[in-house]
Amino acid sequence: MKRMHSKVDFENTEVAFRLKSNKALKRAYWLFRMLSFPFLVRYGNAFVNSALRWHLPVVPLVKWTVFDHFCCGETLHDCVPILDSLNEAGVKSVLDYSVEGKESELQFDQARDTLLELIEFSSENPCTPIVVFKPTAFGRFDLFVKQGEGAAFEAAEQQEWMRLRNRFDVVCKAASDKQMPVLVDAEESWMQDAADQLVLEMMRTYNKDRAIVYNTAQLYRKDRMDYLRELHGRAEQEDFFVGIKLVRGAYMEKERARAEALDYPSPICISKEATDANFDQALRFVVTHSARMALYLGTHNEKSTELAVALILDHQIAPNDQRFWFGQLYGMSDHLSFNLGAAGFNATKYMPFGPIKEVIPYLSRRATENTSVSGQTGRELTLITQELKRRKLSAT
């Protein structure tokens, strides 16, 4: 039986894979087959990292496999043809400069300048209506932790924090000047309090007329519904708009391991079912309070996507209302993105890009997450198989 709500048919593989040739589909099939074996992912990541340390020629292999599937290019110029083709198919793009793990002030300034370039580029390109960055693109992880714990900064650290805050402000102001929504991704819980506070400051300043700055709530955290209620209450009292990106979360194993090692209660929901319920509760809350809140829904979960479609239509909100966006990662869940776009909803793809060697930490995390998300890889394989069979039958 087809899974469908109103005019959105998520089983329509012809629409989902319209941009992929037979060759590209078959390559995607074998990539997801490899990702379905955790031991292959584990040893593959170890091999690539070792090869890079020994300066072995592993980059072409990475490019031909995971990079070409999950990233849109090494430079903005590389990305343009893909952005254009997605746009023609009704799917917008969120460019994500996916260079991680930097530590120096020069690197943080370079990240700020890259974001300013992305805002300028995106404001002039109808394919790219939103930009995104991670908090630790602009400052050291440990500095966020110390600020969140309320520990006293040394004089040099205080100056470092002010530079970090200034990078946030410069980017959010540029986004506001261009009326370009900017998503601030969430990271590990033990640094997130400081990031939340910074984003709240930016919302108070730049979300006076509409949601420009969006924070991210990871709903595998038990406390995020309380956070959403408090944030909405502040917005009502102080007269600003809330932009919120809802995701399930990306650091579960690390969160639980740290909680166990340091002997504190895990902040993560006890089960996937509890996480799903928390996510859907947050989704209902945001749509119900859409007079004050705007939503970017980052999910590969079909049931939650169907629920979002139903809520939007039930609240008599137009599918293309600019307060509501759907997002999936490039290279995954095309059946959601392209069918949403074809039905007139605001569908986007997260489009990672950057130099291959610099993006490998992101790709390694992406591969590991694919193996840990129950059913995700199997669902991709099933849909690709369906489309290959459909094409074979239609050709006879």
> Is residue 341, in this structure, part of any structural domain at all?
yes
Say how far residue 188 (Cα) sits from the centre of its chain. 14
Mean pLDDT, to the nearest integer, of 205-222? 98
Please indicate, yes or no, if residue 233 is contained in any of the structural domains.
yes
Residue 168 within a domain: yes
Judge contact between 186 and 233, C-beta under 8 A: no
Q: Is the pLDDT of residue 3 over 50?
A: no
**Short-list 82, 63, 62, 60, CA closest to 72:** 82
Asked if pLDDT for residue 5 goes beyond 60, the answer is: no
Question: Does 2 have pLDDT greater than 80?
Answer: no
Please choose, from the candidates 164, 170, 94, the residue with its C-alpha nearest in 3D space to the C-alpha of residue 132.
94
Query: What is the structure's pLDDT at 1?
Result: 37
Whole-prediction pTM:
0.93
User: Please, are residues 364 and 62 in contact by the beta-carbon 8 Å criterion?
Assistant: no
C-alpha radius of gyration, the chain, whole number:
21
What is the average per-residue pLDDT within 359-379? 74
Instruction: Give the residue-averaged pLDDT of 100-123.
Output: 92
Is 46 a domain residue?
no
Give residue-wise pLDDT tens across range 259-283: 999 999 999 999 999 999 999 999 9
Contact 171, 116 (CB under 8 A): yes
- CB atoms closer than 10 angstroms to residue 23: 8
Distance between CA atoms of residues 364 and 245, nearest Å? 23
Between 225 and 46, name the one with better pLDDT. 225
Tens digits of residue pLDDT in 163-181: 999 999 999 999 999 999 9
The mean pLDDT value for 298-315 works out to 96
Name the pLDDT band for 368 (thresholds 50, 70, 90): confident
- Summarised one tens digit per residue, pLDDT across range 57-74 is 788 888 888 899 999 999
* Within-domain flag for 29: no
Q: Is residue 368 part of a domain?
A: no
Extract the tokens encoding 207: 């979300």
387 assigned to some structural domain: no
Domain assignment present for residue 245? The answer is: yes
Residue 257 has pLDDT above 80, yes or no: yes
Beta bridge partners of 216: 245
- H/E segment holding residue 222: none
pLDDT-wise least confident of 208-212, 296-300, 360-364: 360-364
Model confidence at 131, in pLDDT bands (50, 70, 90)?
very high
Containing 202, the helix (H) or strand (E) segment is helix 189-206
Q: Rounded to whole angstroms, how far apart are CA atoms 104 and 182?
A: 24
**Antiparallel, parallel or unpaired: β 4-5 and 8-9:** antiparallel
Residue 375 has pLDDT above 80, yes or no: no
Which residues, 6 or more positions from 90, have their beta carbon under 8 angstroms from its beta carbon?
A: 338, 341, 342, 347
Percentage of the residues of the chain whose pLDDT score is greater than 70: 96
- CATH number of 94's domain: 3.20.20.220
The count of domains in the chain is 1
pLDDT exceeds 60 at position 284: yes
pLDDT band at 42 (very low <50, low <70, confident <90, very high): confident
Q: Are 92 and 85 in contact (CB under 8 A)?
A: no
Q: Which residue has the higher pLDDT, 4 or 321?
A: 321
What mean pLDDT do residues 6-12 have?
Answer: 84
Q: 151 forms bridges with which residues in the sheet?
A: none
- How far apart, in whole angstroms, are the C-alpha atoms of residue 238 and residue 84? 40
Cα maximum dimension of the chain? 74
Give me the domain span that covers residue 209. 73-358
